[in-house]
Amino acid sequence: MTTLADVVELVRSRGTAWLALVAIGAVAVAKAFYSPAAQAALPNVLEPHELAAGNAVAGSAWGTMTVVGASLGGVLSSAAGPYVCFWVAAVGLALAAGLATRIRRPLQAPRDTDQPAQRTWPAVREALGYIGHRPRVLALVTVKSAVGLGNGVLTVFPLLAGVYGVGPLGAGLLFAVRGAGALVGPILMRRVLTNRSWLLPGLALSMSLYGLSYLGASVVRWFPLVLLLVFVAHFAGGSNWVMSNFALQGEVPDRLRGRVFATDMMLATLAISVSQLAVALVVDVVDERVVLAGCGLVTLVYAVGWRIATRRLSLTDPSTEPVPDPAG
């Protein structure tokens, strides 16, 4: 019988490296299913007064993973090799799955059992139609794209460390302060989540702060200040993520929430992919600081345009549009 250890042992040469790509792709596909479902289910497993705190904790968990997980991974990889790290990751995922099975509250609101199940493509069209006819929801599912389009900066972190002469340690610090910002931002933004009238301005401000921080990082010449600006940028990025999730949870009915969150993640992931691909195409011929400035400027321009487009919207006004009937 083939075990995971046997599979791990296979990825040992250039000829078997493709197995690692397949494995990473499988993890990404699994996350594409899990993340929207987890965000959509959060209002059903928490009391209404707990939702702001729950989103703050969920948002900061990613930052914790980046800071703690990446740091321990680097140490463990140096001490015991990468294959031990793979096993630790597999055990961690298994433990997480075990904890998820202990959730006793229903992850969805009760459904009408007499209503026939929808087919996949009609369900997707229904969700897209719902988003397209509701300006507030459309604004919220496009907000993460601003930070996503600036995410190409991560591609040049190792090169930037070389520019400042700080080597691998400096690159590690850049990624660490990025995670620290994403950890602290959602926690400190909890107060904003309790006041829905602050959410749209807060989203515009967080996008703008991300862009301005990387514009600043492109012109300063002192590495500690670069680290501070990267922290501020991802403090804003983490805040943006948790505020948009919280706002969507309050806007979208349970029956459509998972599909809307899936669309939200699709757009954010697409923006990240476009940004990193664009940076990869020019990084060999363009100075690293120019790349930082370009990514920051793209996010800033997006933020200004988004705020102009959403200036008349309010998340405190009740929605007057009914939820579409899936039966037609």
For 40-49, write each residue's pLDDT tens digit: 888 888 787 8
Determine the straight-line distance between the first and last CA of the chain, rounded to whole angstroms.
50
With 0-12 / 13-18 / 19 or more C-beta atoms within 10 angstroms meaning exposed / middle / buried, residue 47 is exposed
Fold of 30-66+122-309: Growth Hormone; Chain: A; (1.20.1250)
Run of H or E residues at 182: helix 167-188
DSSP state of 68: I
pLDDT the model gives residue 5: 47
Q: What residue has token string 């939702």? A: 51
| Residue labelled with tokens 């999730």 | 245
Give residue 11's pLDDT.
Answer: 65
Q: Hey, how many other C-beta atoms are within 10 angstroms of the C-beta on 93? A: 12
**Domain residue spans in the chain?**
30-66+122-309
**Residue 78, exposed/middle/buried by CB under 10 A (0-12, 13-18, 19+)?**
exposed
**Cβ 182 vs Cβ 66: under 8 Å:** yes
**What is the CA angle 225-62-53, rounded to 5?**
105
Structure tokens at 75: 């140490």
Listed in sequence order, the DSSP H helices in 189-222 are: 190-193, 199-217
What 8-state DSSP symbol labels residue 117?
P
pTM greater than the 0.85 cutoff: no
| Integer Cα distance of 285 and 327 in angstroms | 55
Residues of the chain with pLDDT under 70: 1-13, 66-67, 70-71, 74-75, 78, 109-118, 120, 317-328
